Structure 1
Amino acid sequence: MLVEHDAPLAPLTTLRLGGPARRLVTATTDEEIVETVRAADAAGEPLLVIGGGSNLVIGDAGFDGTVLRIATRGFALDGTLLELAAGEVWADAVARTVDEGLAGIEFLAGIPGSAGATPVQNVGAYGQEVAETITEVVAYDRVRYETVTLTGADCAFSYRHSRFKADPERHVVLRVRFRLTDAGGQSSPIKYAEVARTLGVEANRSVDLRTAHDTVLKLRAGKGMVLDPEDHDTWSAGSFFTNPILTDTQYRAFQDRLGEVTAPAFPAGDGRTKTSAAWLIDHAGFGKGHGSGPATLSTKHTLALTNRGAATTEDLLALAREVRDGVRAAFGVELVNEPVMVGVAL
């Protein structure tokens, strides 16, 4: 277990933003994680848990407490059952499951971050989300002071949400278990229109597993969503805003604002409709590359807010507020940030 003081946090995030931690602990075993959490809680010390740092916006003042960096490793496969340590690099783990000929998370290729973060955000992309395959999450419960195992149903998954995100002070994820599918080298049925179109197949068809993985990886890279230290379009937290889910009343008001214009719309259950945050941003006047300062929209994707190399967190937040307020003024729809805010707020 490595302990550092006044340690920079920016290098631990994909945005490369944020001030220092008063104390940074890097844990490489579950026991070290639990020991660090218990010690911080017993001392009444603020605690921030970091995995891959891909979904964090940390304030310029840093974090006045203990930052726990989870660096555990573990990839265990038993038939179609997969267990990942929380610190496993997610993109690498997905690639390994494809190497093993197992479907279930192949459309989540190239997503930065660690395995332990996937149930927190119910990570999803291209028509697939981890809620579909997670069977159990092993976590340390900071209220019960013990390690617990939560079933997939216990996790209360919904769109980019879970019980872990709803109550972030309660659990620290240690391990995540998945049930994958051996489909004879074929992918899961394709649900996302862009993927089907790129592959030249109809929706709900399956294709070669490796082809599906590599196609998604190429699509993500084309949008600046695969990490590349030399490409500032990837110095981001991925999609900064979630796709809005509107009630029937909200959707009717939105349609009234649109007039003759047609916006993307998808059923979201319970009479609600999901629309596209990227479409809203673009049609509110914020195109790719918008911004003249050190933080701009990605030149490849309007949903990514990027650090062009010399930005501060406040620069990024100023841009986020400009986009959020502009969309609200144009369409009456409130965009909600997807990354976790630490010491700051929109």
Structure 2
Amino acid sequence: MTDVPNGLAGALREAQLDVTEDAPLAPLTTFRIGGHARVLVTAHSPEEIVRAVRLAVEAGARWAVIGGGSNLLVADEGFPGVVVLVRAARVSLHDTELEAEAGAELGRIVTGSAWAGLGDLTFCAGIPGTVGGAVAGNAGAWGRAIGELVVAVRLLRAASMETVEVAPGAMDFGYRRSAVQASHDVVLAVRLGLQPTERKTMLKQIDENLARRGKRLPELPSAGSIFRNLPPAQPGGQREPAGRLLEAVGAKGYRVGDAGVTDRHANVIVNYGHARARDVVQLMAELERRVAEKYGVRLSRELRELG
């Protein structure tokens, strides 16, 4: 694959797509870090996502798809290919099934389903980003994960450029992961199976979960948890929180440039103003080294790196 061949931006425009050249990516991430995309396509429907990716592939260009940018670190040099920004966000209810395009905000779905008396997505309250990103990473909290509620996922296959609808089993959901992270298939839309649940109870639970997350997450730009919790020591046991190990090795307050671990939570790195991606990478490497040296375990990054 190459960067962006001459004429590709024009071809994307001819395909009636929303194209910006040399587009800054930092404002599209919650970290507020990173360089520019050679070409940015803002896709307002699943069909536009497919059209943009197929044209990039046909031209032999590098491509990437992003959503809410809440779990993303963009390289300081940016991305030399085509970035497709997913803004397809239609949501509909069919009895107890909720269908959402990949760009729908997860928070909107959590609150909307609760008001409709359908649950239970309250464990996702406060998780930033889009439903497509949440499903791709099997996001969750408090011992729950969104993959538990998935009925079907519509994908664009990266290998064949075909669109397919798959059952949950094909997604191979695991802890903060799914099959699409390795295959690079693109989530276009999802269907979630919900159950009638008391509205008042869910709205109260949403408020409580938001308050709990607010106490541990800073207001500064960040990407949330950086490392995955460790697997249980024994089958059926609890995962070891990465934050506990990081706190024990003195992670809180540690800084590289303007990137630093917040005092609120040892597993959260924040941008204190002018952090660079290389600062974050250096900081993550140092934290990994400390934990490996003290505990003999290797931390797994939850953060997606683009560049």
Q: What is the TM-score when the length of structure 1 is the normalising length?
A: 0.81
Of residues 265, 268, 283, the one that matches 1:319 is 283
Q: Do the aligned partners of residues 332 and 302 (structure 1) sit closer, same or farther apart at CA in structure 2, a change above 3 Å counting?
A: same
Please give the secondary structure, in 1, of the residue aligned with 2:20: strand
Q: How many residues align?
A: 291
Q: Identify the residue that residue 282 of structure 1 maps to in structure 2.
A: 247
Q: For structure 1, which runs of at least 5 residues remain unmatched after alignment?
A: 187-207, 226-230, 252-266
Q: Identify the residue that residue 101 of structure 2 maps to in structure 1.
A: 85
Are positions 1:106 and 2:106 aligned together? Answer: no
Paired residues of 2:19 and 2:40 also in contact (CA < 8 A) = yes
Instruction: Specify the code of the residue in structure 1 equivalent to 2:202.
Output: L
Q: How does 1:25-174 map to 2 (within 5 A)?
A: 25-168=41-184, 171-174=185-188
CA distance in 2, matches of 1:98, 1:178: 13
User: What's the CA shift for 1:273?
Assistant: 6.3
Paired residues of 1:119 and 1:164 also in contact (CA < 8 A) = no
Are positions 1:175 and 2:189 aligned together? Answer: yes
User: What's the CA shift for 1:21?
Assistant: 0.5
Q: Identify the residue that residue 342 of structure 1 maps to in structure 2.
A: 306
Q: How does 1:217-256 map to 2 (within 5 A)?
A: 217-224=210-217, 231-232=219-220, 235-245=221-231, 251=233
CA-atom RMSD, angstroms? 1.6
Q: Do the aligned partners of residues 324 and 240 (structure 1) sit closer, same or farther apart at CA in structure 2, a change above 3 Å counting?
A: same
User: What's the CA shift for 1:283?
Assistant: 0.8
Q: Deviations over 1:214-240 (max 9, x none)?
A: 100111111116xxxxx31xx111100
Following TM superposition, where does structure 1 have runs of at least 4 consecutive aligned residues deviating by more than 6 angstroms? none
Instruction: Specify the code of the residue in structure 2 equivalent to 1:92.
Output: R
Paired residues of 1:290 and 1:297 also in contact (CA < 8 A) = yes
CA distance in 1, matches of 2:256, 2:74: 22
User: What's the CA shift for 1:268?
Assistant: 4.8
CA distance in 2, matches of 1:333, 1:39: 43
Q: Identify the residue that residue 309 of structure 1 maps to in structure 2.
A: 273
User: What's the CA shift for 1:316?
Assistant: 1.1
User: What's the CA shift for 1:66?
Assistant: 0.2
Paired residues of 1:245 and 1:268 also in contact (CA < 8 A) = no
Are positions 1:330 and 2:301 aligned together? Answer: no
CA distance in 1, matches of 2:144, 2:118: 15
Q: Deviations over 1:10-54 (max 9, x none)?
A: 000110111100000001011111110100111111001010001
Q: What is the TM-score when the length of structure 2 is the normalising length?
A: 0.91
Instruction: Specify the code of the residue in structure 2 equivalent to 1:286.
Output: A
User: What's the CA shift for 1:292?
Assistant: 6.4
CA distance in 1, matches of 2:35, 2:70: 16
User: What's the CA shift for 1:104?
Assistant: 2.0
Instruction: Specify the code of the residue in structure 1 equivalent to 2:294.
Output: A
Are positions 1:214 and 2:214 aligned together? Answer: no
